[in-house]
Amino acid sequence: MNFQKDPLGFIRTLQKQYGDIFTVLLGGKYITFILDPFQYQLLHKYHKKLSFQKLSQKIAVQVFSIKILENYEDLNDELHGVYQFIQGKSLDLVLENMLQHVNQMFESQLLKTTSWNTTQMLTFCCSIVFEITFTTIYGKVPTDDRKNFINELRDNMLKFDDKFPYLLSDIPIELLQNVRSLREKLIKCMMLDELAKVSGSSEIVQKRQDILEKYYGLKDLNIGAHHFALLWASIANSIPVMFWAMYYVLRHPEAMEALHDEIDHLLQSTGQKKGSGFFIHLTREQLDSLVCLESVILETLRLCSYSSAIRFVEEDFVLSSETGDCCLRKGDMVAIFPPAIHSDPEVFEAPEEFRFDRFMEDSKKKTSFYKRGKKLKFYLIPFGIGATKCPGRFLAIMEIKLLLLVLLTYFDLQIIENKSVKLNYTRLFFGIQHPNSDILFRYKAKF
């Protein structure tokens, strides 16, 4: 209970009392925390005895109703192989595709807003992030069905996402109202027959479909469950990141001004003018050159991410660290708790403040941060650590950058409620924390 009320304060108190490695009984599970950032590599050093697979399988079964096959490890390896299509040079093609959908969505819907339109910010972010993510990954819905299909799928996905922490916490699904039927509906919606109505799916979806058919068979519901899990993973954290990035930028005029200057400079240098018509075209290199925009997103992740790297202890053993030995028991867990480093005043000055330029230095990306006079390898870890890092992290950051850029370029944006929004700690250990309330803002197209 104390951990959920004030997770950082709780962990800090124990750290002062017991040092950088200690074990806590939380929710019936013994979790050993490693808080010294110079010891994070212990997870990799002991990777054969500290397993991530059990946790990922638990999520697959309990949350997404995926059947674990005998050769599930081979399937996982093949599925991981196709993440190359949302990384590296492949992102150029994904960005081209995303730009088309962004241009179409903004031109057909939002740019018709010539007078102030007032709405809830989180609701607004849910709408644009979901539609752009779905159309980029799974393809374009026919115009006649688009609004109903996208809206229904989004609303059902968000209702399901709301129950995600409970599904993961071993509460029987029967006690969670209509979650089972909601999940069945979402799985059926992601089966091949339904996805065939959508045109232009990305390469990652096509390759995943081929692999899943090979392992499960053409009509197996597990294929829909895998697609459903991919879609959930693509939006579950991107939506709250988009919300917090907008919230912080609109709350800090100096951030807004710096972003406008940087974006205007890029658009002018590429010969793109802001006018009454809407079309924007950027390469990935140009998007990556926006150092201030990236700094804003990284600072947002620093303040709002509670993703922990968690491992299951496969056997009794002694974990040897620079600060001493620690006995671990089979069946317990080991965790790294990123907020401890993200909010360390020795690493980040005034860590409770949003500083848009924290990850900039002399107009370049800043990657040097120090603790105890030593340079840190791990100073910002919102996407996990090592081999289990989120494979979609590059796509997620690219999407948030693009959407922020478009909103700031083509719209006037204002928060109109004078209230402070805080983190809601219902997703501790898993991803970006949601806001504890929504907030009214207004927007209109610039002319």
Binding-site positions for heme read: 390
| φ and ψ at residue 51, rounded to 5 degrees | -100, 135
Contact criterion met (CB below 8 Å) for 424 and 436: yes
How many whole angstroms separate alpha carbon 196 and alpha carbon 182? 21
- Beta bridge mates, 30: 25
Q: What is the DSSP letter of 21?
A: E
76's enclosing H/E stretch is helix 72-81
The label of the residue with tokens 């068979």 reads 217
Packing angle between helix 253-269 and helix 393-410, nearest 10 degrees? 90
List binding-site positions for substrate: 237
Give exposure, 406-441, as e/b (b: 16+ Cβ within 10 Å): bbbbbbeeebeeeeebebebebbbbbbbbbeebbeb
**Hey, how many other C-beta atoms are within 10 angstroms of the C-beta on 162?**
13
**CA atoms of 95 and 54, how far apart (whole Å):** 34
The beta strand positions in 29-71, using DSSP E, are: 29-34, 50-51
How far apart are the C-alpha atoms of 245 and 413, rounded to whole Å? 13
Please say whether the beta carbons of 280 and 406 come within 8 A: yes
> Which residue positions form the known binding site?
237, 390
The token pair that represents 76 in the structure block:
């996982």
Q: What six digits make up the tokens of 355?
A: 């500083």
* Alpha carbon separation from 415 to 68, 194, 250, 310, 410 (Å, rounded): 47, 39, 7, 37, 17
DSSP one-letter string for 157-187: HHHHHHTHHHHHTT--GGGSTTHHHHHHHHH
| β-pair partners for 435 | 423
Q: Which amino acid is at 159?
A: K
The amino acid that residue 349 corresponds to is: E
Which one, of 365, 300, 397, lies nearest residue 95 by Cα?
A: 397
Closest of 235, 218, 227, 224 to residue 187, by C-alpha? 224
Helix/strand/coil for 319: strand
d(CA 237, CA 164): 12
